[in-house]
Amino acid sequence: MGLLEGRSAVVTGAARGIGEATAKVFAAQGARVVVTDVDLAGADAVAAAINADGGTAVAVRCDVTSEDEVRAAVAACKDRFGTVDVMVNNAGITRDVTMRRMTLDDYQIVMDVHLKGAWLGTREAAVVMREQGSGAIVNISSLSGKVGNAGQTNYAAAKAGIVGLSKSAAKELGHLGIRVNAVQPGLIRTPMTAAMRQDIFAAREKDIPLQRAGEPEEVAKAVLFLACDLSSYMTGGVLEVTGGRLM
């Protein structure tokens, strides 16, 4: 029996990176997974890989800034699998530039995808979970939301907001049997960080006590912990998956 045997989960931004790893780790632990992403072809590929490995997954296109599409993704999980036991709000983008040069559009799209997207996902999942009397919501924040990064006033603000959202939602939903927690990854090898200059990436690795960047699967395992019964008495918590960086 897997840690998520018989449960159903929605993972946003799951076509690559941490979202893809989370969807695959969940499936390996018995979950039926709705793989969502604005990139439907990418989501289809992840779902196909899960199914080929003996898991159960379906792909759904979802722009997390759209109320209708987020609601439809949650409904797809409920309609296909009968429950929505886990919601992982992971979708994200970057538009890194110093504040002086950042456009309002650069600021707003990052805030919308990360913070509005997590808020919509939390709200829509909670509608179903409250009827079930149970559920786990995991929101993906970032170490940047704790300490900030130059050139990321938009991203850091959104990721810090996700922590506040998670704690507030945890207080609202706890009496309904719904747990809400957050994960703050540090430097992780993903397509997003692959765009960093190699010298900057290497310099940041040297600041990590474990002396290396993390892998998406290592974040996914922390998400799994918060999604399953091993964390049954945790809500409103924030797990750092950083290799000890900036502790």
Q: Are the C-beta atoms of 60 and 34 separated by less than 8 Å?
A: yes
DSSP run (H or E) holding 35: strand 32-37
Is 107 labeled as catalytic in the residue annotation?
A: no
The torsion defined by the Cα of 138, 159, 64 and 46, in degrees rounded to 10, comes to -60
Is the C-alpha dihedral spanning 113, 118, 119, 120 positive or negative?
positive
Which of 54-57's residues contact partners 24+ apart within 8 Å by CB, and which partners? 55/24, 55/27, 55/28, 56/27, 56/31, 56/32, 57/23, 57/27, 57/32, 57/33
Q: Are the C-beta atoms of 94 and 192 separated by less than 8 Å?
A: yes
Q: Tell me which of 12, 117, 155, 219 is the catalytic residue.
A: 155
Residue in 194, 192, 186 with CA at minimum distance from that of residue 211: 186
Active site residues: 155
